[in-house]
Structure 1
Amino acid sequence: MNALDDLDKVGVSVIEMLCECLLLFGSLEGKMYRGLFRRLRFTSVGPFWRCLKVQTRPPQFAFDPGSEVFRVPPSPKMATAEDELLLPRLPELFETSKQLLDEVEVATEPTGSRIIQDKVSKGLDLLKKAAEMLSQLDLFSRNEDLEEIASTDLKYLMVPAFQGALTMKQVNPSKRLDHLEWAREHFLNYLTQCQYYHVAEFELPKTKNNSTDNNTASSSMAYPSLVAMASQRQAKIERYKQKKEVEHRLSALKSAVESGQADDERVREYYLLHLRRWIGISLEEIESIDQEIKILREKDSSKEESTSYSSHQDRPPMKPFVLTRNVAQAKVFGAGYPSLASMTVNDWYDQHQKYGVLPDQGVAKTTPELKRGTQQQEDQEQKEDEDDEQMLHRAREWDDWKDTHPRGYGNRQNMG
């Protein structure tokens, strides 16, 4: 504890100078020291140094007034306490969560399987810790531009996008709407951050309040605007072309960056391409999320309507009502057809039997007078045919002439 007592006597300016020196070399730990120092600058230096030991694992050193060098002799008690309280570093959290996300996206197992869901939950826990550490360290400030952020720190801007992607992989039908809203919030935070740093030019999606207002306004319109649909289609085509170009450039830089052979400029370009790639993914995911949220809400509303309809069915049936106008009109004009029978069935049968028009096993009945009249007519015709010998002779001559003269005989029209 002597080293800590000596450190308490140094003063605030020495620690601040150390932080600025580390920042000159672009070290992440320097920003971590500065962020923690900003929160604890009004406390004693001893607790501040303990906090640094727990959060960032700095090199052990103490202050020697004669040589102006910081040294801390190793202490077994302090080492054991540090091993128990040490937290995973930010790069480790980021790389592990990124690896889990890649494994989930390329996995052949179903998304609802236990293995995939364990990876999803583990990745979300790691990303939550990384996001908390980023907020504690103030790694990204609104007072900085994109050029002022270190090349190795650009990748930490993708933490909200990774959170949204893993949240979309969660499988729980009862909480699907909550998962969609959380994923949309993560993607929107990522896009807002990228738009602030001017990573790429894109239109930020509308928030929930604006989208609800626009839905109520557009509900009054019968048909969607064709101009808006054409602009959306053109935007999708442009995003697709940019996505293909970004993926091609990433594949060219990936091997050099992962092997550590790339310079700072190529590393910066590599991470900026990743940021632009995730901008396109976030825009597409938010669009699909909005559509799915709309479907789920309509499904819930239909369920509520069905329950209310069933409650209406439990009520006693309403009494039928009759329009007096129709009743009065029916009394005057009638029903449009004879409502009362003019004769009974027996009367109808007797009438048809009298006229002899009833069928008798498929053969109509005839009266004796009708039979006698037809027979007389046939006899008369036969007698007339026998008496007319002249007509019979002429008919025979005509038949003989047709036998000796073929059809068309003599009709040559002076052709020989």
Structure 2
Amino acid sequence: MSSVREKYKSLVDQFTSQVETSTLRQDSNEFQELLTTVIEGFLQLKTTVYSSLALFSKNESLEDLTTSSMDLLGIDYYLGLLVARKQAIQVKSPRDRSVLRLKFLQKSVQLLVQFLVSLQDYEILDTFLSKKLDGFESTYSPRLDDLYSQPNSSKDLSGAQLKRQQKIELYQLSKKVDEALDRLEKDKDSDDETLRQLKLCKLRQLSYKAFGEIEQILYEIELLTNFTSSPPPEHDENPSVSPEKSSSTDFTDKLETLNKPLLSKNGKILRNFTLTDSKSQLQKKVFGYGQYGPTMTVEEFLEKEFESGRVLQGGEEPEEDQDEDKEEWQDRETYKAREWDEFKEANPKGQGNTINRG
């Protein structure tokens, strides 16, 4: 029996010194391996206490419970705290990780409620928490609404005030137990009755902490339930193709697009390109080909492209194919030639600007 109590004390000390106050990230391999080791230790101890030694029975009352074995009722409390910290870090999918995390949290709540039920069976649990426990719609799967009494009518707006009053009452009861525990620990009389009261106060203190832990875990369960119940995001069947590069009119790095001249000889834009002010798109393209800032004008963009030598110039404006056999085309060309001859005859060389000449 003494070895069982020593094992329990050793595991509690390990939880307090290595787990509860650990500076490790909870999603690190080292921390999760530590959790697994401590959980296995508590599970082995629980098997010994409840199965091998059968120290506790529902048919017993508080008077039947020995003082030396009272501490062991806290096994489920520490198991609940440990399981609440477990994470499936080996799973890569965030959604699958959340599903497993949800199961760990649900198991943690079951263990903490089991701890409260054990105290209630031995009439150690105070009246306030005992009523809360009896009010759970499903004892081992409580909901947030089960923790605090709410008005019967949904139109009643006093629910927040009622919850606040219950929280204040819970805090005051917890504070009284802490004060009683402090007095007993300072009491120099170490008779069996004082030691028994001391252990009862410690169990009641853990009961208030367990109730608070259940509330916090239920909040996280609610969030994870909403996340895991939402439909998974749809994935593109061809993820290798970027939507930014799907159109030939966009400014892309496709060879067939880049080989087209950007400007004609006269400065006319021959190839469509898009300037975007999307911050996220610009960040993805930093220092890549054809970059431009969110406030850059078309002129500024072209100037930078000219400086870096990345603008393809010299492209001729597209001309319609001419059929030299058509009379209409031949007549037009003849008239153009005659007009040019007449212009040269009327304006011989050297007959331009003669201002300031003698």
* Class of the TM-score when normalised by the shorter of the 2 chains: 0.5 to 0.7
The residue number in structure 1 matching 2:195 is: 267
8 A Cα contact 1:152 1:267, kept in partner? no
Measure the CA separation in 1 of the matches of 2:139 and 2:158. 23
State the partner residue of 1:140: 56
Match of residue 174, structure 2, among 243, 253, 272: 243
Q: Distance in 1 between matches of 2:186 and 2:40?
A: 29
Q: Which has the higher helix share?
A: 1
One-letter code of the match for 1:182?
A: K
Structure 2 CA distance, aligned partners of 1:125 and 1:209?
Answer: 22
Map 1:77-226 to 2 at 5 A.
89-103=3-17, 104-136=19-51, 137-172=53-88, 174=97, 175-199=100-124, 200-201=126-127, 202=129, 203-204=132-133, 205-207=136-138, 225-226=156-157
Task: Quote the Cα distance in structure 2 between the aligned partners of 1:92 and 1:209.
Answer: 30
Q: Is the 8 A contact 2:109 2:141 kept in 1?
A: no
The answer (yes or no) to whether the contact 2:80–2:108 under 8 Å persists in 1 is yes
Provide the rounded CA distance (Å) in 2 between the counterparts of 1:106 and 1:133: 28
> CA separation of 1:209/1:142 partners in 2, compared to 1, >3 Å: closer, same or farther?
closer
Partner in structure 1 of residue 163 of structure 2:
232
Task: Provide the identity percentage.
Answer: 24
How far the C-alpha of 1:100 sits from its partner, in A, is 1.3
What amino acid does structure 2 have at the position aligned with 1:230?
Q
For residues 155 and 87 of structure 2, the distance between their equivalents in structure 1, rounded to whole angstroms, comes to 33
Deviation at 1:269, TM superposition (A): 1.2
Correspondence for 1:287: 215
Q: 2-side partners of 1:186 and 1:100: how far apart?
A: 19
Q: Say which structure, 1 or 2, has more relative contact order (CA 8 Å, 6+ apart).
A: 2
Mapped to 2, the partners of 1:256 and 1:132 lie a distance apart of 35
Distance 1:294 1:134, change over 3 A: same
Would the aligned equivalents of 1:253 and 1:270 in 2 still touch at CA under 8 Å?
Answer: yes
Aligned equivalents of 1:153 and 1:286: distance in 2? Answer: 25
**Aligned partner letter, 1:247:** D
Conserved? CA contact 2:76–2:115, under 8 Å: yes
Deviation at 1:198, TM superposition (A): 1.3
Q: What's the CA shift string for 1:61-92, capped at 9, x where partnerless?
A: xxxxxxxxxxxxxxxxxxxxxxxxxxxx3213
- Is the 1:100–1:119 Cα contact (8 Å) retained in structure 2? no
* Contact in 1 for aligned 2:113/2:140 (Cα 8 Å): no
Deviations 1:274-333 (A, max 9, x none): 1111111111111222221111111122234x449x99xxxxxxxxxxxxxxxxxxxxxx
C-alpha separation between the residues in 1 aligned to 2:170 and 2:142?
A: 22
Tell me the alpha carbon deviations over residues 240-266 of structure 1, each in whole angstroms, 9 at most, x when there is no partner. 222233233334444669xxx721111
- Which residue identity does 1:233 align to in structure 2? R
The alignment of Structure 1 onto Structure 2 pairs a total of residues equal to 214
Contact 1:100 1:120 in 2 (8 A): no
CA distance in 2, matches of 1:105, 1:176: 19
What does 1:43-82 align with in structure 2 at a 5 Å threshold? none
Structure 2 unpaired stretches of 5+:
90-96, 147-151, 238-358
2: distance between equivalents of 1:210 and 1:113? 29
Q: CA RMSD in A?
A: 3.2
Q: Alpha carbons of 1:164 and 1:225: their partners in 2 closer, same or farther (altered >3 Å)?
A: farther
Q: Distance in 2 between matches of 1:241 and 1:108?
A: 32
Q: Is the 8 A contact 2:81 2:108 kept in 1?
A: yes
Q: Which has more radius of gyration?
A: 1
Between the aligned partners of 1:293 and 1:252, the Cα distance in structure 2 is 38
Residues 236 and 262 of structure 1, relative CA distance in 2, 3 Å threshold:
same
2:231 alignment partner, SS class: helix
CA distance in 2, matches of 1:243, 1:282: 12
Aligned partners of 1:172 and 1:224: how far apart in 2? 42
Deviations along 1:94-136, one digit per CA (max 9) or x if unpaired, are 1111111211223344434455434322221111011111221
Provide the residue aligned with 2:277 in structure 1.
none
- TM-score with structure 2 length normalisation? 0.53
Residue 226 of structure 1: SS of its match in structure 2? coil
Asked whether the 8 Å contact 2:74–2:115 carries over to 1, the reply is yes
Shift in CA distance, 108/186, structure 1 to aligned 2, threshold 3 Å = same
